[in-house]
Amino acid sequence: MLELYTDRLRLRSVVRSDWDNFLYTHSNEELNQYVRKPQSESVIRQKFERIMTPNNFAEDDTLLLLIESVHQQQFIGFISLHNVNAALGQLEVGYMLHPETHGHGYATEALCALIDWVCIAHHPHKLIAHCAEHNLASAKVLEKCGFVQEGLLRQNWKVGETWLDERLYGLLVAQRS
């Protein structure tokens, strides 16, 4: 079981008892406004089962960690790494936090901790992130963690019937401060 700590947070491997939080974050319309239309519980259950299946973080594997407060073990959200291209050393980051925890710096703190760990454990060449153009809070998190906007992908993602433009962010590991 993977556990990473900051002063305020613990990032840990997802366990079966995390199902209710997983279901909530994947079915909450507000949280998913830039990601997807809320899906059925059976579809979300299939995703959860895939996450629960151990993997070696090979190409196309995903590592999902739960974020919780260190002292109260209060659920804060989830953060992920997706091994996009092993040959090129590219990993994609993503995160989704409970609405009540927004605005406290938790996403930035968790992402910086994950970046530190993955750079030591997996030596990627580059970390990438996609962020809906209008998701300014997420863009700020990425920029605080050293990501640079590398482009704007027009009508690159669809939520329901709405096409969204996405900002493409990158962080070259050799250039991180």
3-state secondary structure 78-116: EEEEEEEECCCCEEEEEEEECHHHCCCCHHHHHHHHHHH
Q: Pairing relation of β-strands 126-132 and 90-97?
A: parallel
Q: Quick one: tokens of 52? A: 């629960």
Q: What is the reported pLDDT for 56?
A: 85
Rounded Cα distance between 84 and 107, Å, is 21
The size of the chain, in residues, is 177
Count other Cβ atoms within 10 Å, centred on residue 102. Answer: 14
pLDDT value at residue 143 = 97
**What pLDDT does residue 74 have?**
96
Per-residue pLDDT of the chain (177 residues; tens, 9 = 90+): 899 999 999 999 999 999 999 999 999 998 899 999 888 999 999 999 999 988 888 888 999 999 999 999 999 999 999 999 999 999 999 999 999 999 999 999 999 999 999 999 999 999 999 999 999 999 999 999 999 999 999 999 999 999 999 999 999 999 986
Supply the pLDDT for residue 55. 85
pLDDT score at 39: 87
What CA–CA distance (Å, rounded) separates 24 from 116? Answer: 28
Walk across the sheet containing 148-159 and list its strands: 3-5, 9-13, 62-69, 75-85, 90-97, 126-132, 162-172, 148-159
